[in-house]
């Protein structure tokens, strides 16, 4: 079974319910469409604040293979590229959760061997 996690923007959690990310995960739509026909388990839904390195270590310990960096992170997080590169050292990274893969911005990151 493939284990995935979703990383959301801390500031967005003050007003966001997570509905878009979770709807897309459970319906296997948008960035999660790649998992249709597969057994996938959501291990974590966590935000970028606090001790992020600790959280990432816990996700690794739990067997997470792929982290979806939420759409709000891609559009609003100033250190998005560096964050994706950091996460990409230990996980495959998908650079959005719901909506268009192209998103509302032109931010893109390319990491060899990683999905984003």
What's the pLDDT score for residue 110?
Answer: 42
Residue 113 lies in a domain: no
Q: What is the strand order of the sheet 92-94 is part of?
A: 40-47, 2-8, 66-69, 92-94
Residue 111 lies in a domain: no
What's the pLDDT score for residue 102?
Answer: 64
What's the pLDDT score for residue 116?
Answer: 47
For residue 33, give Cα distances in angstroms to 3, 55, 90. Answer: 15, 26, 22
- Where residue 82 sits, what CATH number does that domain have? 3.40.50.2300
Annotate 17-31 with DSSP letters as a single string: -SHHHHHHHHHT-GG
Residue 108 lies in a domain: no
Residue 100 lies in a domain: no
Residue 90 lies in a domain: yes
Return the sign of the alpha-carbon dihedral for residues 62, 65, 70, 74: positive
Total number of residues shown for the chain: 116
Residue 13 lies in a domain: yes
Residue 104 lies in a domain: no
Expressed as residue numbers, the domain containing 34 is: 2-94
DSSP-derived secondary structure letter, 70: P
Residue 40 lies in a domain: yes
Give the number of domains in the chain. Answer: 1
- pTM of this structure: 0.85
What's the pLDDT tens digit per position in 59-72? 999 999 999 999 88
- Residue ranges of the chain whose pLDDT lies below 70: 101-116
For residue 25, give Cα distances in angstroms to 6, 85, 106, 108, 110. Answer: 9, 23, 23, 22, 23
């Amino acid at each position: 079974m493939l284990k995935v996690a979703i990383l959301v923007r801390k500031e967005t959690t003050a007003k966001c319910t997570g509905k878009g990310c979770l709807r897309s995960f459970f319906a296997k739509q948008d960035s999660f469409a790649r998992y249709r026909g597969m057994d996938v388990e959501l291990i974590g839904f966590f935000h970028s604040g606090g001790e992020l390195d600790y959280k990432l270590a816990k996700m690794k310990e739990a067997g997470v293979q792929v982290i979806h960096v939420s759409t709000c992170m891609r559009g609003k997080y100033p250190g998005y590229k560096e964050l994706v590169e950091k996460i990409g050292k230990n996980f495959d990274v998908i650079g959005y959760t719901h909506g268009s893969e192209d998103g509302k911005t032109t931010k893109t990151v390319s990491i060899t061997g990683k999905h984003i």
